[in-house]
Amino acid sequence: MIDNDLDDVERVVAYGMNPQAHRYSPLDKLNRDTVKHLTPAWAFSFGGEKQRGQESFTLVHNGVIYVTGSYSRMWAVDARTGKRLWQYEHRLPEGIMPCCDVVNRGAALYDDLVIFGTLDAQLVALDRETGRVRWRDRIADFRAGYSYTAAPMIANDLLITGNSGGEFGAIGEIQARNPRTGEMVWRRPVIEGHMGTLPDGSETMTGTLNATWEGEAWKTGGGAPWLGGTYDPELNLIYFGTGNPAPWNAHSRPGDNLYSSSTLALDADTGEIVWHYQTTPNDHWDYDGVNELVLFDMEKGGETIKAAAKADRNGFFYVLNRETGELLLAEKFVNHVTWAEGIDLETGRPIETGARPGNPAATDGDRGESVTVAPAFLGGKNWNHMSYSQRTGLFYIPSNEWEMEIWNEPVTYRRGAAFLGAGFTIKPIYDDKIGVLRAMDPKTGEIQWEVPNRTPLWSSILTTAGGLVFYGTPEGYLKAVDDETGEELWKFQTGSGVVGQPVTWTMDGEQYVAVVSGWGGAVPLWGGEVAPLVRDISQGGMLWVFNFPKKRPSVGDYSGVDGSRAHLSTARRFSFGKTL
């Protein structure tokens, strides 16, 4: 069911709506002509005072929605009425150290279980019917800086996870478990020199010791694969992006620092690395490489290529052969990229401009020479996912235009403490926009259209066969635009910034759209000069569900494209988990 999630429009059981992460739906009842009739069906409040960034992806199965929230919480909600069926709230210990807000991005369904990760780096498997704990296991020790915020993935009948914690020197690792029991099957560290475990219990080293890390820097090398992965059932390959090397001060770790800031293809049976592609060697700017690798087939030159695409934090859009890792295309997807002129297609390496912060050891002070570089470390695109439309063959990318001043500082590793060795300030580049939704052709790298937004875009994208692109804004709107032109067709004000992940499905003959609303994430924490632009956005925690009913409203029941102004006669069913 998970491998073929795209084929059944009455459910959403795979993160990204299929293992390839297309975030596309073949539904077309809701389309350019009818989206103006999209109406709130109900809304569910997460309640309490824990109203921080809500970045969850909702799963839908047998009329039940499973949604996670900030501070490691989960709910099961009746998809027809919004009634809470059960709630689980993880008991978090003192001293958790999440880098970039207390978010949770979703869960995984498997048989009669729903499984998610927690801020203290644990996995919890709950009974889908009751919410009771069936098993619990630790990914790593939170006291060493480890945490977990991604949605687990089911691939090859295994539960696949990464980890967070690169800013604390925590070593990135991809793990595979039996989803029924939590028992470890294999584990693969992503920094060379560390030992992984195979299914037979034997150990193998990742890479070659000291090949691209000097001395003992590899021991605290970071590289956290903190966003999750994608899966090709035919090739039986799992694809994961890896995070920044630690510390940020690259002068303390000469070399390419494999396999940080890279994309890895792993054998799903063993966890062994089949191929890798490093987007930012010897990363000086915290550009990570965790962005999702979206798998698709590309027709080019009369042949079908098993391709994959990635919009990297470093500002470049890459197309690779997903069988071999061969680089096929690399083009900018943001206007301002100043750390590199481009990507050498022969070597796959960036053509750097020399905009690296100075070595603090070369100065008399406590910091090296600063540089101004674009994009900022929050990236041309951060965690929020792009979408691939099978209808248009285009990718829809939630991008951001900003720059940063960055400098290096001396740093010494201490277990459980921040391990940066850098300072920074993020700055807007334009007066009228930071976020830009862009439609990009993966065959040519050309931008087909773009829609600017005053504040950063931090939600994921959904596309449909109805010619629609859904996305959210910090200003509180869920929006739908035309997939061929970017023209705005509908919007709804949710009351808090939308940094969640929209999904769609059908139920009882009606098409539904859901998204979580609740401002937060990394921008208000790390935004520098951008932060004042979002200072007054209200925090929140709400699951909004909209539908396109079989019996559509009469003419005049709506005012323009703003769905939040629906006439009361058609909004009677809107409730906070209750019937009015």
What's the DSSP call for residue 164? B
CA distance 279 to 262: 6
CA distance 405 to 254: 22
What b/e string do you get for 96-110 counting C-beta neighbours within 10 Å, with b at 16 or more?
bbbbbbbbbbbbbbb
Q: Can you tell me which residue has the tokens 């150990």?
A: 203
Distance (Å) of CA 167 to CA 147, 196, 288, 485: 11, 22, 11, 40
CB atoms within 10 A of CB 272: 14
CA distance 36 to 558: 8
Neighbouring-strand partners of residue 60: 12, 65
| Candidate list 286, 288, 312, 483, residue with the active-site label | 286
Of 323, 329, 396, the C-alpha closest to 23 is 396
CA distance 400 to 333: 10
Helix, strand, coil: what percent of the chain each, to 5? Answer: 5, 35, 55
Q: Can you tell me which residue has the tokens 């309490």?
A: 48
CA distance 152 to 123: 9
Per DSSP, the chain holds a count of helices (H) and strands (E) of 1, 40
In whole angstroms, what separates CA 133 from the centre of its chain?
26
∠ at Cα 105 (99, 108), nearest 5°? 130
Could you tell me if 242 and 264 are in contact, meaning their C-beta atoms sit under 8 angstroms apart?
yes
Pairing of strands 340-343, 350-352: antiparallel
5 has catalytic annotation: no
Distance (Å) of CA 271 to CA 198, 218, 265, 283: 7, 20, 9, 25
User: 3-class DSSP state for residue 37?
Assistant: helix
Question: Which structure tokens are listed for 205?
Answer: 């080293």
Of 379, 402, 384, 375, the C-alpha closest to 531 is 402
Could you tell me if 13 and 5 are in contact, meaning their C-beta atoms sit under 8 angstroms apart?
yes
Q: Can you tell me which residue has the tokens 């102004």?
A: 565
Residues designated as active site: 286
